[in-house]
Structure 1
Amino acid sequence: MWKVFGENGLRMMFWSLQRLLLIILLFPCHLQLHAFYLPGVAPRDFQTGDSLHVKVNKLSSTKTQLPYDYYFLAYCKPPRVSNSAENLGEVLRGDRIENSVYTFKMRETESCKVACRIKLDAVSAKNFKDKIDEDYRVNMILDNLPVAVPRQKVDRNGEKFYERGFEVGFKGTFVGRKERSYFVNNHLNFKVMYHEDVETGTARVVGFEVTPLSTNHDYKKWDEENIQLTTCKPGKPTVFGTDSVPQEIGADNEVVFTYDVSFESSNIRWASRWDSYLHMNGDQIHWFSIINSLMIVLFLSGIVAMIIMRTIYRDIANYNQLEQDEALEESGWKLIHGDVFRPPENSSLLCVHVGTGVQVLGMSLVTMIFALLGFLSPSNRGGLMTAMVLLWLFMGLFAGYSSARLYKMFKGTDWKKMSLKTAYMFPGFLFAIFFVLNALILGEKSSGAVPFQTMFILVLLWFGVSVPLVFLGTFIGYRKPAPEDPVKTNKIPRLIPLQPWYMNPIFTTLFGGILP
């Protein structure tokens, strides 16, 4: 900096910084601090009577990994079904967020609200029964908050927990019947919890609960302008007794979908509204066991690395002081000290694997850093998958650089061919598997199938971003001087005797992977 700016230039920069600091300290009232929110997670303030539009998400199950579109089942459809703004991660995860017929008014309670009436055919009834057998749940969203079913725990002093989404239906038996019947949850009791701002009078949505019920609605007259149900009445609390008949699923059965909505003030602030969803009951991940295993592997690997470094450091110094032709009376692994750094047979393939490993490692590390900083919050749907795909593309620069450095260390000359392998081998293998699996998922009519346009975009990103970055990294890495080997390599390879059967690469790979 001294050479570039000189003494006078540095003094002027220092005085400018002092003046800027004085302005900030003397006039704080004229400065406005602007914060920003991540896409899709900015708070929204609602006045009394403002419209709240419920959006529908995919049908998901813990028994199968295939998600389905909400309108795959014969649910009520709005006049025009439109998709919300989606990112690449949402499409890859099968999250199709669409509009629905459920619309509320802020802080205005409604009861026995009729959504629609649908007559099931044989195909629709079969779809409902299949999804009930596979324990599929319906996912909805209100103000970027997923719907959840509240439950009460018996063994923890009645503590309340949530289950994301509600069941499509259930199986049961009628009195006098032997076979089990299928019933659909056609009535939804919604509860919207809000946190009120006393100063402005606005409210923010901090909770979205639902209690699904099944009831066989009956009506005197069906008029679109004046629907008169006998099982519940608008404007009055909907109460279904124990003697109410649930709505059975069957061909030519008529199903009337209804819902209630109530509002409840809550002390939960908007910044903490996701806390309940992050501690949901369900399939618990054994984080302690995972972290314990990971720490054991890292600890043992560190111990082994320190032992090896302390053991061979002095030997390497002695070997480098001697001539290559000088014979030493060594035993064990020291006999091959002059053959360790000889290039292997498939050196280019090893370089490709190392470069791909650096690419995966860099993508994982940066993704975890973004997650720790809060950029990949669960409210930003698809953000994690989008970040991983983009980081994988940009880490192609480091993949090409590391593979080229190792390739030059092995005295390789055809760096262009090696860079082609790095750019196409592993991604091409993954894309082939992805294409076959996507074809199978598409045959099941699942929403998890990636559309052709998205696959074309992925291929375009692969060839337009990743491949040029791999070539650029390879070019930069190959131009640098090759790293020197710690130990000199003998001119004549040492003959290695036959190894016992348990030293076969297959067995050593299996035994080495038991601990992790």
Structure 2
Amino acid sequence: MCKGAAEEKNEKYVKNLKEATNAGMRGRERGAEDACQVSSEFNKSNTFYLFNHVDITITYHGESETNWGIVRLVTARLDPKSYKHSDENHLTCNGPPMEIPGEYTDKLNVTYTYSVKFEENKHIKWGSRWDYILECMSHTSIQWFSIMNSIVIAVFLSGMVAMIILRTLHKDTIRYNQMSFPVNGQKEFGWKLVHGDVFRPPRSGMLLSVFLGQGTQVLIMTFITLFLACLGFLSPANRGALMTSAILLWVLLGTSAGYVSAKMYMTFRGIKWKTNFLLTALLCPGIVFADLFIMNLILWVEGSSAAISFGTLMGILTMSFGISVPLTFLGAYIGSKKKQFRYPVCTNQVPRQIPQQTFIRKPLFGLIISDILPFGCIFIQLFCILNSIWSHQMYFMFGFLFLLFIILLITCSEAAVLLCYFHLCTEDYHWWWRGFFTSSFTAVYLFLYAVYYFFTKLQITGIANTILYFGYTMIMVLIFFLFTA
């Protein structure tokens, strides 16, 4: 049955169906990247063919094993067509295509129609209803190759860093063992000279402890979320399940953030553990919520359906102050009452003078070079993730993503240990913040890649859309900054 667009008022729609890109073709020119495949009847030069009809084929699976008397919709297919409707009162789903001459400049009235057909398929089960979408995705094979390439790069870099660490430490250990009793006036050198300053508390120790606590919370949240996704509990079929699970886990893991933050702060000989608790509970979550509120305000002004309702925002605030903050306080209280970590050596009363450092040994150069290793593990997979977010493509390879998550942790840890060791060998004992930024600086590369992706892969126009993109990107960068730290 063929129906016009004006007859759709009382029709029921099937939601959550994937959208397809509509494209037209002029004559025989085929230049569009995502143009539709059309028949040979569209062969007139300097002529436009307008797709004004859609054939909708809905496949259902009958529950023959039960007596429910219902069926389940498993697939939906939309085929664009072009028909020249001569009589609007008697619409038909056949006929010649609708041709528009290239030089046509007058007003044109277009009648849009659609037809719906239901077909039973006893082979497609409800649990495998997404397979046909995954199989027809154009970049699936490229994604597999990219993931395998990322794994090879990550394993190679991890092996290289581990080999450098083991060989360097082995040589230094042999050399120091041979010089345990200095002969002929030989003196200690390298990292052994700063043993009395290496545990000196860092500057802004409270802020560092807050970041470490929040990073622990994000790390555990990410691990559990990806693990559940690998087991199939967070299926792409259940929209919003991944984000909902991540938010709930973040709320429930406030105890870990408070404990780690307070424990590290007390290790730095801090005494304001209540201030440390407040910063741990409110600093980073407050930044994320403020950014999210601004983005949501823009969506409200634009009248977008993607805007989060006021009730949902209040629900997030209620969970934060009603559950997360009390749990953070509990963790901070336990961490502050625990026995402090005892350093293996005593700290010198007078700080040791740090020798003049060359440009290669300065912190910025080390951060730029060392963070290439962790970013090299994820940059190809990052392209797939950004495509799924901004190009409305489905992402379903959580098993490989979980493996990359583990390899990224190993690479970040090895890069931080390696760079800290090199700096200690130059008699620079300010390693606390340097070790923190060695891995977390990868977030800067993430932001730069997001900027590159915006200008080269997306066609976003308008100030509001640009602000939304970079606003959500900043949230992602901040979370990644805490996670890698």
TM over 0.5: yes
Hey, what's the Cα distance between the residues in 1 that align with 2:105 and 2:247? 42
- Map of 2:113 onto structure 1: 257
Deviations 1:353-392 (A, max 9, x none): 1111101100111101211221101111110010111111
Q: How many angstroms does 1:115 deviate by?
A: 5.1
Aligned 8 A contact 1:398 1:470 in 2? yes
Hey, what's the Cα distance between the residues in 1 that align with 2:161 and 2:326? 36
Aligned 8 A contact 2:2 2:113 in 1? no
User: Secondary structure of the equivalent of 1:188?
Assistant: strand
- Map of 2:225 onto structure 1: 367
User: Secondary structure of the equivalent of 2:73?
Assistant: strand
Deviations 1:211-255 (A, max 9, x none): 12243434364xxxxxx32xx1xxxxx4344x4448x99988353
Output the aligned Cα RMSD. Answer: 3.9
2:21 is aligned with what amino acid? E
Structure number with the higher helix fraction is 2
Q: How many angstroms does 1:416 deviate by?
A: 0.7
Q: How many angstroms does 1:336 deviate by?
A: 0.8
Structure 1 pair 240–457 and aligned structure 2 pair: CA distance change class (3 A): farther
User: Secondary structure of the equivalent of 1:476?
Assistant: helix
- Map of 1:421 onto structure 2: 279
Structure 1 pair 419–304 and aligned structure 2 pair: CA distance change class (3 A): farther
Hey, what's the Cα distance between the residues in 1 that align with 2:259 and 2:245? 22
Which protein is bigger by CA-based radius of gyration? 1
User: Secondary structure of the equivalent of 2:372?
Assistant: coil
Hey, what's the Cα distance between the residues in 2 that align with 1:471 and 1:307? 44
Structure 1 pair 202–466 and aligned structure 2 pair: CA distance change class (3 A): closer
Which residue of the other structure, out of 197, 201, 212, is the alignment partner of 2:64?
Answer: 197
Note the 1:403-414 alignment, pairs <5 A.
403-414=261-272
Q: How many angstroms does 1:489 deviate by?
A: 2.2
- Map of 1:333 onto structure 2: 191
Aligned 8 A contact 1:402 1:477 in 2? yes
Q: How many angstroms does 1:349 deviate by?
A: 1.1
Q: Are residues 1:290 and 2:176 paired?
A: no
1:167 is aligned with what amino acid? T
Aligned 8 A contact 2:258 2:328 in 1? yes
Identity %: 33
- Map of 2:87 onto structure 1: 219
Aligned 8 A contact 2:52 2:81 in 1? yes
Hey, what's the Cα distance between the residues in 2 that align with 1:167 and 1:486? 64
- Map of 2:350 onto structure 1: 492
1:461 is aligned with what amino acid? M
Note the 1:14-93 alignment, pairs <5 A.
none
Aligned 8 A contact 2:213 2:259 in 1? yes
Hey, what's the Cα distance between the residues in 1 that align with 2:177 and 2:204? 29
Structure 1 pair 431–401 and aligned structure 2 pair: CA distance change class (3 A): same
Hey, what's the Cα distance between the residues in 1 that align with 2:235 and 2:333? 37
Aligned 8 A contact 2:58 2:73 in 1? no
Hey, what's the Cα distance between the residues in 2 that align with 1:244 and 1:331? 84
Q: Gaps spanning 5+ residues in structure 2: where? A: 28-41, 375-485
Hey, what's the Cα distance between the residues in 2 that align with 1:336 and 1:496? 10
Structure 1 pair 492–254 and aligned structure 2 pair: CA distance change class (3 A): same
1:291 is aligned with what amino acid? I
Q: Are residues 1:166 and 2:20 paired?
A: yes
Q: Gaps spanning 5+ residues in structure 1: where? A: 1-110, 119-139, 148-163, 222-227, 233-237
Deviations 1:459-509 (A, max 9, x none): 232222222221111111111001122333222221111211232322211
Structure 1 pair 403–490 and aligned structure 2 pair: CA distance change class (3 A): same
Q: Are residues 1:112 and 2:2 paired?
A: yes
Note the 1:102-141 alignment, pairs <5 A.
111-114=1-4, 116=6, 141=14
Hey, what's the Cα distance between the residues in 2 that align with 1:379 and 1:363? 22
Aligned 8 A contact 2:199 2:343 in 1? yes
1:481 is aligned with what amino acid? K
Structure 1 pair 371–490 and aligned structure 2 pair: CA distance change class (3 A): same
User: Secondary structure of the equivalent of 2:306?
Assistant: coil
Note the 1:347-358 alignment, pairs <5 A.
347-358=205-216
Aligned 8 A contact 2:58 2:117 in 1? yes
- Map of 1:382 onto structure 2: 240
Which residue of the other structure, out of 258, 272, 291, is the alignment partner of 1:400?
Answer: 258
Hey, what's the Cα distance between the residues in 2 that align with 1:315 and 1:334? 12
Hey, what's the Cα distance between the residues in 1 that align with 2:203 and 2:292? 31
User: Secondary structure of the equivalent of 1:210?
Assistant: strand
Aligned 8 A contact 1:116 1:258 in 2? no
